[in-house]
């Protein structure tokens, strides 16, 4: 089975812009979670989607949003980018309690 | 109460030695405790996981020890190899279908195994 794929792998944006990141889960997995990884804050949970519904949300501002499509693919969007949004954004698909992570999208905000 | 505290921040071990990483939690609602391994440029990969009804779980050279009363758990890597050099994260999640997808991670431990 193919693993979790994320696109794009690298992205450079400027402050104030918005960005959309994409995640394709492992075939058959209906749950997708998103995490932000930074050197200072570590790995932090953003949100989880299951069957197109947001089931859980972390402590991030409303600029961070997501959605899931009927084929379980998910996107996350960050609007009005700030310098502090520079991070590795990781997507994970889940089967029962095990989460399988993708390689991440590295976002740099200038 | 949602935190998972991990130590040490970094660890240097000689080849063949034992690497030990510790984690502590406060929230007794946590019921699933995985360990992830992350190499540079890669996403975290599940190494081993345990539930609180088990005090120890072993998979190859990797062992989780779990102390429910102390709310602590640790990862032991036996016969550490240079290829084990990576960042290790402990994590925890609560039960229930709406919580299982939310992992709370420790701060990470960078392990270097010297040849």
pLDDT category at B97 given cuts 50, 70, 90 is low
Tokens representing residue B48 in the block: 């081993």
A71-93 burial code (b ≥16 CB/10 A, e <16):
ebbbbbebeebeeebebbbbbbb
Whether A97 and B100 lie within 8 Å, measured CB to CB: yes
Average pLDDT over residues A64-88: 97
pLDDT category at A106 given cuts 50, 70, 90 is very high
d(CA A45, CA A48): 8
Average pLDDT over residues A2-17: 96
Q: What was the pLDDT predicted at B39?
A: 96
**Strands annotated E in B27-70:** 30-38, 45-50, 56-59, 62-67
Q: Is B84 helix (H, G, I), strand (E, B) or coil?
A: helix
Q: What was the pLDDT predicted at A2?
A: 82
Q: What was the pLDDT predicted at B15?
A: 97
Q: Of the candidates B45, B89, B101, which has its C-beta nearest A94's C-beta?
A: B101
d(CA A66, CA A54): 8
Nearest CA distance, A32 vs chain B (angstrom): 8
Q: Is the pLDDT of residue B101 over 70?
A: yes
Q: To the nearest whole number, what is the mean pLDDT of chain B?
A: 94
Whether B98 and A58 lie within 8 Å, measured CB to CB: no
pLDDT in tens, B7-34: 999 999 999 999 999 999 999 989 999 9
């Amino acid at each position: 089975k193919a693993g979790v794929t994320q696109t794009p792998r690298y992205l450079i944006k400027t402050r104030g812009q918005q960005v959309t990141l994409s995640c394709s889960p492992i075939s058959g997995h209906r749950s997708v979670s998103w995490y932000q990884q930074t050197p200072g804050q570590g790995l932090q949970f953003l949100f989880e989607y299951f069957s197109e519904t947001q089931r859980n949300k972390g402590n991030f501002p409303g600029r961070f949003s997501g959605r899931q499509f009927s084929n379980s693919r998910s996107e996350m969007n960050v609007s009005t980018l700030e310098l502090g949004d520079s991070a590795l954004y990781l997507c994970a698909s889940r089967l029962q309690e095990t989460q399988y992570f993708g390689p991440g999208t590295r976002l740099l905000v200038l | 109460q949602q935190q998972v505290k991990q130590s040490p921040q970094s660890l240097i071990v000689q080849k063949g030695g034992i690497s030990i990483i510790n984690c502590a939690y406060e929230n007794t609602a946590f019921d699933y405790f995985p360990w992830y391994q992350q190499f540079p440029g890669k996403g975290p990969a599940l190494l081993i996981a345990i539930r609180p009804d088990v005090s120890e779980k072993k998979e190859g050279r990797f062992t989780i020890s779990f102390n429910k009363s102390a709310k602590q758990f640790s990862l032991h890597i036996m016969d550490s190899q240079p290829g084990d050099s990576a960042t290790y994260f402990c994590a925890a999640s609560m039960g229930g279908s709406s919580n299982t997808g939310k992992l709370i991670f420790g701060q990470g431990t960078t392990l270097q195994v010297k040849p």
